[in-house]
Amino acid sequence: MLSTYFKKHKVFLFLCLIGIIYIGFVLINQEMKFNELNDNATKYQEEILQLKDEVEMAQQELDNISSIDSIGRIAREKLNMVSPTEIIYLIQTNESNMDSDIDVEISVDDE
């Protein structure tokens, strides 16, 4: 009796088997895609936290250099700038030593 049922519904059972296999592949594919998106979300959240830290550090640095004294100090140290009232003296030393470069000492006097 069971074998006659399979013989009569051969096409229907074959289509059901193909449908079940297709659903299995779709579910596996969706699970893999979900895991990939989850990993990407984790990476992006870590990157967001890192960028927030960088923004906070930059804001603190900006707050630290916002005063006129800080701006002047940075201009002197990093850009070698001087104020109009300062006089710079260059002193040459080690003239007898021909193998080395000329040493320069900078002395700044505020008037």
Q: Is residue 77 a part of any domain in this protein?
A: no
User: 62's torsion region: left (phi>0), alpha (psi -120 to 50) or beta?
Assistant: alpha
Q: Is the pTM of this model over 0.85?
A: no
Q: Is residue 76 a part of any domain in this protein?
A: no
Q: Is residue 29 a part of any domain in this protein?
A: yes
- The domain total for the chain is 1
Which of 8-12, 46-50, 75-79 has maximum average pLDDT? 46-50
Q: Is residue 55 a part of any domain in this protein?
A: yes
Domain that holds residue 47: 2-64
pLDDT of residue 106: 55
Q: Is residue 22 a part of any domain in this protein?
A: yes
Comparing CA positions, the residue from 40, 46, 108 lying closest to residue 73 is: 108
Q: Is residue 18 a part of any domain in this protein?
A: yes
Q: What's the chain's average pLDDT? A: 82
